[in-house]
Amino acid sequence: MIFLVAVAWVACLSTPVLATAPVDTLGPLDPNAQRDAQRIIDFLTKGPGSGQSWDKLATFVDTIGSRVSGSPALAAAVRYMLDSLANDGLENVHGEAVTIPNWVRGNEYAKMTFPREKNLAMLGLGTSVGTGSGGIEAEIIVVSSFDDLKQRAATNETQGKIVVYNQYCDWASLPVDCYGDSVIYRAIGASEAAKVGAVAALVRSVASFSINSPHTGVQDYEPGVKKIPVACITIEDAAMLSRMQDRGIAPRIKLYMEAHTLPNATSYNVVAELIGSKYPDEVVLVSGHLDSWDVGQGAMDDGGGAVLAWQVLSTAAQLGLRPLRTLRVVMWSCEEFGGIGSQQYFDRHKSDAANFSLVMESDMGTFEPKGLQFSGSAAALSIMQQVANLAAPLNATLVLPNGAETDTGPWAAIGVPAASLATHNEKYFYFHHSEGDTMSVFTPGTLDRAAALYAVAAFTVANMPSKLPR
> Between 233 and 3, whose confidence is greater?
233
| pLDDT band per the 50, 70, 90 thresholds, residue 27 | confident
Can you tell me the mean pLDDT for 198-226?
97
**Active site annotation includes 335:** yes
What value does the mean pLDDT take over residues 23-35? Answer: 80
User: How does strand 418-423 pair with strand 369-375?
Assistant: antiparallel
| 445-460 pLDDT, tens digit each | 999 999 999 999 999 9
By percentage, how much of the chain surpasses pLDDT 70? 94
445, amino acid identity: G
pLDDT, residue 277, reads: 98
Residues 6+ apart with CB under 8 A from 278: 324, 325
Residue 172 confidence class, pLDDT cut points 50, 70, 90: confident
Quick check: helix, strand or coil at residue 191? helix
Which among 310, 262, 280 is positioned nearest to 90, based on CA atoms?
310
> What is the average pLDDT value for the chain, to the nearest integer?
94
Give this prediction's pTM.
Answer: 0.94
Residue 174 is predicted with a pLDDT of: 83
Averaged pLDDT for residues 223-252: 98
81, amino acid identity: M
pLDDT in tens, 87-105: 999 999 999 999 999 999 9
Whether the bond between 448 and the residue before it is cis, its omega within 30 degrees of 0, is no
Task: Single out the catalytic residue among 192, 273, 282, 335.
Answer: 335
Q: Does the pLDDT at position 16 exceed 50? A: no
For position 242, what pLDDT does the model report? Answer: 98
Mean pLDDT for the stretch of residues 37-46: 98
18 vs 58 pLDDT, higher one: 58
pLDDT of 175: 74
What span, in angstroms and rounded, lies between the C-alpha atoms of 265 and 262? Answer: 8
Close Cβ partners of 333 (under 8 Å, ≥ 6 residues apart): 69, 74, 78, 98, 100, 267, 268, 269, 270, 289, 290, 291, 340, 341
Which string of DSSP letters, residue by residue, matches 231-282? Answer: EEE-HHHHHHHHHHHHTT---EEEEEE--EEEEEEEEEEEEEEE--SSEEEE
Beta carbons of 134 and 299 less than 8 angstroms apart: no
* β partners of residue 326: 283
Q: Does pLDDT of 20 surpass 80?
A: no
Asked whether the predicted pLDDT for residue 15 surpasses 90, the reply is: no
pLDDT tens digits for range 406-418: 999 999 999 999 9
- Residue 3, pLDDT score: 47
The alpha carbon of residue 251 and the mean position of all alpha carbons in its chain are separated, in whole angstroms, by 35
